[in-house]
């Protein structure tokens, strides 16, 4: 009713103060962000490449096979280089097209996550933003140029360049040193549970992301006191 004073329940003021204190604490604690790339910034599907090269392969293709996965993992962890990867992959798929055509198909497996691009843009300028990804020369050279979201990042640690991969601890430790961040002041975002678990063990505010449930990430960031973010 007009003029009626709201009655404060016992302990309500204290609860509000404590909630405000916790929020202010998180605001002061979160000072940087580290993002995974695949299925976070840009969803991907290796089968897109398989379908694209299929018409130029001499033998039948069984999707993204265990053998193909093994070659990719060796490439992404730096055990083999670009030339050796292409040689082995082209032989495995019995590909009859040119190397340039194979690379064009292999790199084009991504698509933009527009909601994440908006979020990263709203964080840019207020927090240092970094990348930590299991990836390769071919893919990094492609997505860094293709997608505008990558302009917002000031540093990156890629598995093929440091010869180790997530979910192992060493690549996280390399990133921590290279970026000069404190895990307890840093949000780490990744789609894979194993990677998130390692990050949490090291003290990061690690969040598992599903690009089909982007709103959940926004809620988690708000709970950490990260404001001014775009939906």
Q: What's the pLDDT tens digit per position in 76-98? A: 999 999 999 999 999 999 999 99
- Residue 6 confidence (pLDDT) above 60: no
pLDDT at 103: 98
What are the backbone dihedrals phi and psi of residue 226, each rounded to the nearest 5 degrees, phi first? Answer: -90, 110
Q: Which two tokens stand for residue 194?
A: 């194993």
Q: What is the mean pLDDT of the chain?
A: 90
Helices 99-107 and 137-146 pack at an angle, to 10 degrees, of: 60
Residue 4 confidence (pLDDT): 34
Determine the Cα–Cα distance for residues 76 and 171; give it in Å rounded to an integer: 13
Q: Which of 19-28, 119-128, 178-187, 206-215 has the lowest mean pLDDT?
A: 19-28
Please give the pLDDT value at position 65. 87
CB 157 within 8 A of CB 175: yes
Residue 138 · residue 82 · CB < 8 Å: yes
DSSP single-letter state for residue 228: S
């Amino acid at each position: 009713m007009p003029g009626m004073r709201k009655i404060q329940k016992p302990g309500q003021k204290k609860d509000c103060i404590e909630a405000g204190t916790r929020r202010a604490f998180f605001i002061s604690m979160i000072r940087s962000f580290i993002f995974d790339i695949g299925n976070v910034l840009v969803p991907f599907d290796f089968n897109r490449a398989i379908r694209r090269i299929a018409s130029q392969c001499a033998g039948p293709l069984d999707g993204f096979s265990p053998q193909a996965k093994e070659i990719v993992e060796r490439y992404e962890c730096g055990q083999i280089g670009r030339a050796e990867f292409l040689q082995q992959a082209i032989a495995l798929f019995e590909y009859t097209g040119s190397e340039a055509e194979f690379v064009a198909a292999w790199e084009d497996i991504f698509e933009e996550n527009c909601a994440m691009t908006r979020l990263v843009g709203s964080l840019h300028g207020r927090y240092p933003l970094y990348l930590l990804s299991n990836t390769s020369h071919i893919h990094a050279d492609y997505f860094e140029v293709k997608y505008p979201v990558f302009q917002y990042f000031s540093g990156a640690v890629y598995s093929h360049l440091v010869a180790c991969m997530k979910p192992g601890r060493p690549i996280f430790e390399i990133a921590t040193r290279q970026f000069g961040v404190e895990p307890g002041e840093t949000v780490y975002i990744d789609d894979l549970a194993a990677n998130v678990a390692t990050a949490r063990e090291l003290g990061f505010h690690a969040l598992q992301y599903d690009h089909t449930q982007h709103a959940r990430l926004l809620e988690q960031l708000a709970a950490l006191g990260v404001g001014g973010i775009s939906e």
